Homo-oligomer: A and B are copies of this chain.
Amino acid sequence: MKPVTVYDIAKEANVSVATVSRVLNNTAPVKKETRERIMELINKYQFQPNALARSLIKKETGMIGIILPDITNPFFPQVLSGFDREVRNKGYTYFLCDTMSADYDVADQYVRESQYLNALCEKQVDGIVMIGGRVDLAKPSRELVTEVLDIGKRVPILLINGDLPGASLHRVATDERLGAELAARHLLELGHRDIAIVGGYRNMRNTIQRTSGVVRTMERSGLKVRKEWVLGEGFSVDSGEAFIGQLLSMPERPTAVFCMNDLVAIGVLKGAVKAGLRVPRDLSIVGCDDIPFAANSIPGLTTISLKASELGRTAAEIFHKLIAGEKVRKTTVLQPELIVRESTAPIRA
């Protein structure tokens, strides 16, 4: 069954396609009876205008692309949810481009990132938002920068919690260093002096910033972080379990662990409990991200909220302004927040 088109409607209503188009978009006055006649036919045939054809000439598609590393990491659904809520009522739909989940090969991730960037561009999306992946690298490769820059000339690109020095893209980010400082200060106030830092990847900006936030805060109090207590690499629960295993096998143990994200923190918690430690009595743990599960673990996880959903919401707002042609500040910074739950406690005397 061939789909009905404006031509079919026009013919049966004895008008031109232009008129049909006009009632569709009410972009010009149409006589009441004519309009009604056309509307009737539209309902009769359940006519749905072909968005491809429309977008082709209008040069806007109402489509946005979101590139992220792993939808399976609860942080991203949070971001997405904030984003979604903001765009869905404005008639936008978005492509979800997951570069890594179900397949943790970093090299593949990077090529997929490029593939998606191109695919989205060909599909004429109105904008692209990128989270994580290569834009989160401390030193993004020259090629990436030129690639993104090139695409960025054709379609607005927005970075969430990422940066591409030299590309000068719009971005919204949480102040990660401040977040880490908040966490470190909290631990210091509880009397902890021996703090480990675990997880993340040392080539990623977030890891570097968070680490430096903790180190700096310690140093301001005249304390140091032991080198052997800084453990990488990984952002998963499993890696967290491995880290705590390593720490517990050391002759001298920290009294608190700062984890690069909540997943790692959960792994640390799990490993610690398995090893017979009681949290927070024997070990304080603080995570980062405030994924929904952080509130539901036992004990509840003290963590830094990166304001995931607000990040998404803000990104969406910026997009609207960008698409509407408004001037927007290049960088928007959100404030992290320390969420104190039950996984941290004063050090025992």
A51 sits at the interface (CB 8 A): yes
Please name the residue on chain B nearest to A103 by beta carbon: B85
Which stretch (A28-36, A52-60, A163-171, A250-258) binds chain B?
A: A52-60
A233 sits at the interface (CB 8 A): no
Most chain B beta-carbon contacts within 10 A, residue among A76, A82, A88: A88
The CA of A165 and the CA of B116, in the complex, are separated in Å by: 38
Instruction: Verify A296–B237 contact, CB threshold 8 A.
Output: yes
Q: Which residues of B contact A80 (CB under 8 A)?
A: 71, 96, 98
Instruction: Verify A71–B61 contact, CB threshold 8 A.
Output: no
The CA of A325 and the CA of B313, in the complex, are separated in Å by: 40
A48 sits at the interface (CB 8 A): yes
A348 sits at the interface (CB 8 A): no
A191 sits at the interface (CB 8 A): no
Instruction: For chain A, residues 50 to 103, give those with C-beta under 8 angstroms from any C-beta of chain B.
Output: 50-53, 55-56, 61, 63, 65, 71-72, 74, 76-78, 80-82, 84-85, 88, 91, 93-98, 101-103
A150: contacting residue among B46, B56, B112, CB under 8 A: B46
Q: Which residues of B contact A49 (CB under 8 A)?
A: 122
Q: Min CB distance, A2 to chain B, in Å?
A: 11
Most chain B beta-carbon contacts within 10 A, residue among A97, A296, A297: A296
A121 sits at the interface (CB 8 A): yes
Q: Which residues of B contact A292 (CB under 8 A)?
A: 72, 237
Q: Min CB distance, A207 to chain B, in Å?
A: 22
Q: Min CB distance, A135 to chain B, in Å?
A: 19
Please name the residue on chain B nearest to A88 by beta carbon: B112
A48: contacting residue among B97, B121, B237, B266, CB under 8 A: B121
A124: contacting residue among B52, B91, B96, B97, CB under 8 A: B52
Asked if A81 meets B72 with Cβ closer than 8 Å, knowing A51-B124, A122-B51, the reply is yes
Instruction: Verify A123–B51 contact, CB threshold 8 A.
Output: yes
A153 sits at the interface (CB 8 A): yes
The CA of A264 and the CA of B119, in the complex, are separated in Å by: 39
A222 sits at the interface (CB 8 A): no
Q: Which residues of B contact A153 (CB under 8 A)?
A: 1
Q: Which residues of B contact A85 (CB under 8 A)?
A: 101-103
Q: Which residues of B contact A84 (CB under 8 A)?
A: 71, 96, 98, 101-102
Instruction: For chain A, residues 287 to 313, give those with C-beta under 8 angstroms from any C-beta of chain B.
Output: 292-293, 295-298, 309
The CA of A247 and the CA of B88, in the complex, are separated in Å by: 39
A154 sits at the interface (CB 8 A): yes
Most chain B beta-carbon contacts within 10 A, residue among A3, A74, A77, A116: A77
Instruction: Verify B52–A118 contact, CB threshold 8 A.
Output: no
Instruction: Verify B77–A309 contact, CB threshold 8 A.
Output: no
A320 sits at the interface (CB 8 A): no
Instruction: For chain A, residues 113 to 157, give those with C-beta under 8 angstroms from any C-beta of chain B.
Output: 116, 118-124, 150, 153-154
Instruction: Verify A102–B122 contact, CB threshold 8 A.
Output: no
A-B CB proximity, top 7 nearest? A96-B96, A85-B102, A51-B122, A81-B101, A71-B77, A51-B123, A81-B102
Interface residues of chain A, those whose CB is within 8 Å of chain B, are: 1, 3, 46, 48-53, 55-56, 61, 63, 65, 71-72, 74, 76-78, 80-82, 84-85, 88, 91, 93-98, 101-103, 112, 116, 118-124, 150, 153-154, 237, 266-267, 269-270, 273, 292-293, 295-298, 309
